[in-house]
Every structure is written in structure tokens, then in C-alpha cells.
Amino acid sequence: MERQGNLMQFRPDIKVLDATIRDGGLVNDFYFDDEFVKNLYHANVSAGIDYMEFGYKASKDIFDTTKFGKWKFCDEADLRSIVGDNDTDLKIAVMADVGRCDFKKDFLPKSESVIDMIRVATYINTMPAAIEMIEHFHELGYETTCNIMAVSTAQESDIYMALELLGESNVNVIYLVDSYGSLYPEQVRELSFKYQKIASKYGKKIGIHAHNNQQLAFANTIEACSYGVSYLDGTMSGMGRGAGNCTLEMLMGFLKNPKYKILPVLKFVQNDIEKLKAAGVVWGYDIPYLCTGILNLHPRSAIAAMHDGDKDYSNFYIGLWDKDV
Amino acid sequence: MERQGNLMQFRPDIKVLDATIRDGGLVNDFYFDDEFVKNLYHANVSAGIDYMEFGYKASKDIFDTTKFGKWKFCDEADLRSIVGDNDTDLKIAVMADVGRCDFKKDFLPKSESVIDMIRVATYINTMPAAIEMIEHFHELGYETTCNIMAVSTAQESDIYMALELLGESNVNVIYLVDSYGSLYPEQVRELSFKYQKIASKYGKKIGIHAHNNQQLAFANTIEACSYGVSYLDGTMSGMGRGAGNCTLEMLMGFLKNPKYKILPVLKFVQNDIEKLKAAGVVWGYDIPYLCTGILNLHPRSAIAAMHDGDKDYSNFYIGLWDKDV
């Protein structure tokens, strides 16, 4: 397990992906105003961010379009209203959930779309469906990732099998996703090493998407990075479901590639994120998230506790013990 | 650089120190009410915490006793009003700052005091004064630590010399202190390894005291721990100067020794810490602290920005560039 790079130089293989709209959209049902999204796009371009994930391309048959903002669906026209033809170095990504999108109907060929990359999110038990989607998107001409969610609850042997399947597919990037924010850096190191082994065998890249339940999102991201993981997800001020994500401002402060700039990120935070917070949108580390993180549970009960203003943390923790029975 | 222990078992050499009153006192000038301190003491006993640091034993000639709460001075009678004869497994610690205490006058022999351990805080340039104090406290019968502050701005060769001096002294524990919250886990690993080398040569223990400017206090603490560092500092909800410290609730969730209990910590947080926060006492991660952390600067300008409610983060960051000129 050799570390790659050091704290003085930079690795040109590193790519940063901003997932603010996609993961942050889980906080506000994707109701961002256009100014926010435009400002974010321009901030990302200025900061040297490599990819911006706009949201999901969810099925309009499954999800009611009147109950979500437009970034749950990412229509081509809506994307173009923000990025035009996207004549920048920033690439555009969207997420497609296994079982929650009409992937054969809703995606144009790459030549007709401003989307560059499609990220396929899957649990470990739906890998064949994920790979079917990946191959379809590959044929349409897109870059693809496979984000295997909730690996902290998966069997290691299943993870290896999934990685082998992906190795043999046309996917470009395989993501290590700590959905519950329960992994410690030691575990991220082990997993990174195993993902990297498959990556070098099959010529894939590895990415990491971390959650901040135990205030380890940034630490886990740079730990994975130091073992060769090269696609790093972050969001503005960590905006994302529950405890949120690795913050882009921390990543910009850490990464040594001079193309990355922290000031556009800080400006976006002080202007647009502060406005969102002032309007009452809430995310980020708090003790209920720590509790579900420690116990390796989905954060849904913590989100409910935060929503209800329940500060009886000890009772909340005790209540979690029964969740798996 | 071998890791010690794993995530399934526990290392019996690990000791946890609660520094809530001492580091938290830097937030509220040590004005804690007795109920808070008593509740904290009982919570620490119940949680299996090994040491509780009550505060400083600062010189009353140098510091005005009307401008600070009593835990800036930790008179024996004040300690006993909380702990009686301290008939528990929890040991009592206080901090003595080089140049800011009357160490020959203000410390009783151990046989007459409830204090068990004296932690000598020093910068790298006052090691001889620190060692003089350590030897004095050793002769009085106390356990001692030496907390070398702000090592992120010290020359490595100076750190090695200081460690050798301490190795030859009677100090029990040498602390790695990330005063500016600027160290990344990779750096903590390197430093831990070097501190541990001296420790095993001279039969000393190593401790870590981390700050949370980059949300790395917990990550850095468990990283150091995994390389054999055995004295781990934490505070309730991270209460401490600026961005605060590693939280005890995270440590209690992480450590596997069954003597450590998270519920008394959560109960203290939901009752006593929440009350303090409701009264307007503020600490913890925020972007100005990230900025000073990234630039390896003392957090004083970030504390001022937070106090002034300055949210022009980009301008604040630019302003920091000139601080070293």
C-alpha cells in the first residue's frame, strides 16, 4: 500500500467534482433558483473545478415534477439555460439512479447534449442493472462512473465481485461512496487500496464521495487521495444530505495544483451559500448524524431528529440500537 | 511505520483526557458555574475518561483574578469543592504555562493535593524553562506532560532536539500539539512516528492535542492513535479556542475499550453544553478558522472575524496573506 504524491507537489490525475446541486438538492428538493446555479457554474469554472454535477435525471413517470425542482430531472433545455454550449473546461455531469430513471428514453446521444458524464448510482445488489445502464450511456458517447453506495454495509466479497464486473465493463470511474459517513480513514485506506488494485488491472479510475457524519468527509477524501484515488467529490460548504459532504473550500485549500483556486469558492460561499442558510436551509455535522455514523446506519432517523429539533441525544442513540432488530 | 492495534480490539495503553474546562475556558475566560464543572466531573467519571484537566494554574501576579473565572488559577480549595478527595479512577490534571505561572510557589506537594498530573505547555524556544518546571513537578510527586505547542511552525531539527531533551528528562508524556489546526493526517503520521521513536527510546508516552480548524481534529487524533500515540485529548462537543478540539463524543464512539461509555458524554452535551450554547458561548469550525488553518497561522484573526461577524471570507483570506510580511 504505497502512498502516491506528497504535500509539496501535485498529481495531474486528480479531478474535482462539485456535487452541490445534486447532493445539496436532497436537502431542498432541488429548488435552487437560477441565479444560484449560474453563480455556482461560474464559481466552479473560475475555481478550476473539473466536473459539475447538476442533479439527477430522474423518471418523470416515477417522480412528480410538481414536487421537485428542475434539477431532479435535468432536462437538456434547463442545463443549456445555465451553461449555453458550455464553452469551458468544466465538464457537466448528471446522476442516474438504478431503477429510478428511464435511461433508454431520457438521454440524448452525447453529440446532442451538453452533458459530458453520467454517474450511475447503485446499491451492491443491482450491479447488473447498473452495468446495463453504463453500457447504454457508453454507447451514447458519454463518460460514465459507477457509484456503489453504502459499501459500509456490504460484504467485502460482494464488493470485490462488483469491482470485477465493473472492471470488465466500459465504465470510466468507479466510486467509493461512504453513504452513511461511517467509515474511518483506516477503512477508507483499505477500501481505496482494493479499489485501486482493480483500477490498475482494468485501466479504470477510482473516485470517492464521502459524508460528514463523523466530521471525516474531508479526512477520508484526502486519505483516499493519498492512496491514488483521483476523482474527489466535494460540495460548497459541504451542502448535502444530512451531515453533508466534503467541502470544496477544504479541498481547494489542500490541493496543490495551481489551477485550483480557493477564492471563487469562498466568494460563492459568502454570497450564495450564506443566502441559502439565511433562508433556513439546514445541513451539516450535528450529533444525531454522529450517532447514525457510529452505528453505520442510514441517516434518515437523524434527519428526522434534526427536523423535529430533538436534542435528547442519549435517548436518540439508545433508540438506534433497536433499528436493526 | 507500523500501525498498532486494529478496529476490532482495543489498546489498553490508551488514555483519554478531557480538556473542556482548560481549553474551553479560553472561550469564556474560565467563567463556568460550579454546576457545569460538577456535572462534567461526574460525566467524565461515568464515561470512563482517564484524566480531567480543570484549567490553568496561572500566576495571580501576572493575571488579574477579577478578570477570569477561578479555573484560570485552579486553587486547591476550588478543585476540592468539585471533587472532594476525588475517590474515583479519574485523575485530575492542570496546565502550567511556561512564563505564566509561579511554579515554585503555587504548587503543593502531590501528597497534599488532589492534582495528579501537571501539563507543562511550552513553545519550542523555551524548552529549558519547561524542563525546569517538569523536574520541579516531578520532585513534588506529580505525573507530568510536556505539551510543545505550535509545532507546525517549528523547524523539524528543533523538534528533534526538544524531543531528545525531554527524553532525558523525567517527563512522563510528550504531547504533539497542533495549535493552529493546520496539520494534515499525513503530517500527523510523520510527526507521530518521530515522537514515538523518541518515546520508545526513552520509555515515554506520546499524546496528541488537535484543533479543528480544518475539521481534522478527530481524524488527526485517531491517525496519531493508530501509530501508537496513546494519550488522546478531547473536549465536550469540541469546546475550545476558535475552531475547538477533537470531540469526546467522537472519541467515545470510536474507541473499543468497553470501559469507555458514550451515553454520559451525550447526556452532558444535551444538558450542559446546550445550555452554554444557548447562553451565547460560541466555538467550533467555521470558514475563518479554515483560512488560518490552511495558511498555518495563529487563529487570533479568525477569532476576531468571528467576533465581528465578518462573513467576507474571500477578503479575510486575502488579508491573511500579508500577516507574515
| A8 contacts chain B (CB < 8 A) | no
**Number of Cβ atoms within 10 Å of the Cβ of B257:** 12
3-class state of residue B175 by DSSP:
strand
Q: From residue B108, how far is each of B105, B122, B165, B264 by CA, in Å?
A: 8, 21, 26, 32
Q: Using N-to-C axis directions, what is the helix angle for A217-226 and B185-202, rounded to 10°?
A: 80
Nearest to A94 by CA among A140, A123, A58, A41: A58
Average pLDDT of chain B is 96
Residue numbers in A near B4 (CB within 8 A):
none
Output the pLDDT for position A324: 58
Confidence of residue B112 (pLDDT cuts 50, 70, 90): very high
The whole-number average pLDDT for the span B15-29 is 98
3-class state of residue A219 by DSSP:
helix
Output the pLDDT for position A111: 98
Nearest to B35 by CA among B317, B204, B275: B275
Residue B63 has pLDDT above 90, yes or no: yes
Which one-letter amino acid corresponds to residue A280? G
Confidence of residue B322 (pLDDT cuts 50, 70, 90): confident
Confidence of residue A158 (pLDDT cuts 50, 70, 90): very high
* Separation between Cα atoms, residue B219 and residue A219, nearest integer Å: 6
| B152 contacts chain A (CB < 8 A) | no
Contact between A94 and A57 under an 8 Å Cβ cutoff? The reply is yes
Helices (H), chain B: 20-28, 34-47, 76-83, 127-140, 156-167, 185-202, 217-226, 248-254, 263-268, 274-278, 287-294, 300-308, 313-320
Average pLDDT of chain A is 96
The whole-number average pLDDT for the span A42-62 is 98
Residue A156 has pLDDT above 60, yes or no: yes
Output the pLDDT for position A196: 95
Residue numbers in B near A270 (CB within 8 A):
311-314
Question: In chain B, which among 187-226 make CB contacts under 8 A with chain A?
Answer: 187, 212, 214-220, 222-223, 226
| B262 contacts chain A (CB < 8 A) | yes
Each residue of B285-321: pLDDT tens digit? 999 999 999 999 999 999 999 999 999 999 999 999 8
Contact between A15 and A40 under an 8 Å Cβ cutoff? The reply is no
Q: Which residue of A has its CA nearest to B255?
A: A294
Output the pLDDT for position B4: 87
* Long-range contacts from B59-65, C-beta under 8 angstroms, 24+ separation: B59/B100, B59/B101, B59/B102, B59/B106, B60/B102, B61/B102, B62/B100, B63/B100
| B140 contacts chain A (CB < 8 A) | no
* Separation between Cα atoms, residue B40 and residue B56, nearest integer Å: 17
List domains and CATH numbers for chain B.
Answer: 15-278 (3.20.20.70), 287-320 (no CATH)
Grid cell of A226 as nine digits: 493519498
Residue numbers in A near B190 (CB within 8 A):
none
* Separation between Cα atoms, residue A71 and residue A68, nearest integer Å: 8
Confidence of residue A34 (pLDDT cuts 50, 70, 90): very high
Q: Which residue of B has its CA nearest to A254?
A: B294
Q: Would you call A266 and B250 a contact, using CB atoms and an 8 Å cutoff?
A: no
Q: Distance from B309 to chain A by nearest Cα, in Å?
A: 12
Give the rounded percent of residues in chain A with a pLDDT score beyond 90: 96
**What are the residues whose beta carbons fall under 8 Å from the beta carbon of A188, sequence distance 6 or more?**
A176, A178, A208, A210, A220, A223, A224
Half-sphere exposure of A73 (CA within 13 A, CB side): 19
Each residue of A164-184: pLDDT tens digit? 999 999 999 999 999 999 999
Grid cell of A236 as nine digits: 460548497
| B274 contacts chain A (CB < 8 A) | yes
The whole-number average pLDDT for the span B14-43 is 98
Out of A220, A222, A269, whose CB is closest to B184?
A222
Q: Pick from B214, B267, B276, B306 the residue to mutate for testing the A interface (most A CBs within 10 Å).
A: B214
Residue A322 has pLDDT above 80, yes or no: no
- Strand segments, DSSP code E, in B46-149 are 51-56, 91-97, 117-122, 143-148
* Separation between Cα atoms, residue B103 and residue B126, nearest integer Å: 15
Residue A54 dihedral angles phi and psi, to the nearest 5°: -85, -30
| B81 contacts chain A (CB < 8 A) | no
The whole-number average pLDDT for the span A278-307 is 97
Residue B89 dihedral angles phi and psi, to the nearest 5°: -85, -10
Residue A117 has pLDDT above 70, yes or no: yes
Which value does ipTM take for this structure? 0.96
Cα torsion B279, B280, B284, B288 to 10°: value is 180
Each residue of B233-244: pLDDT tens digit? 999 999 999 999
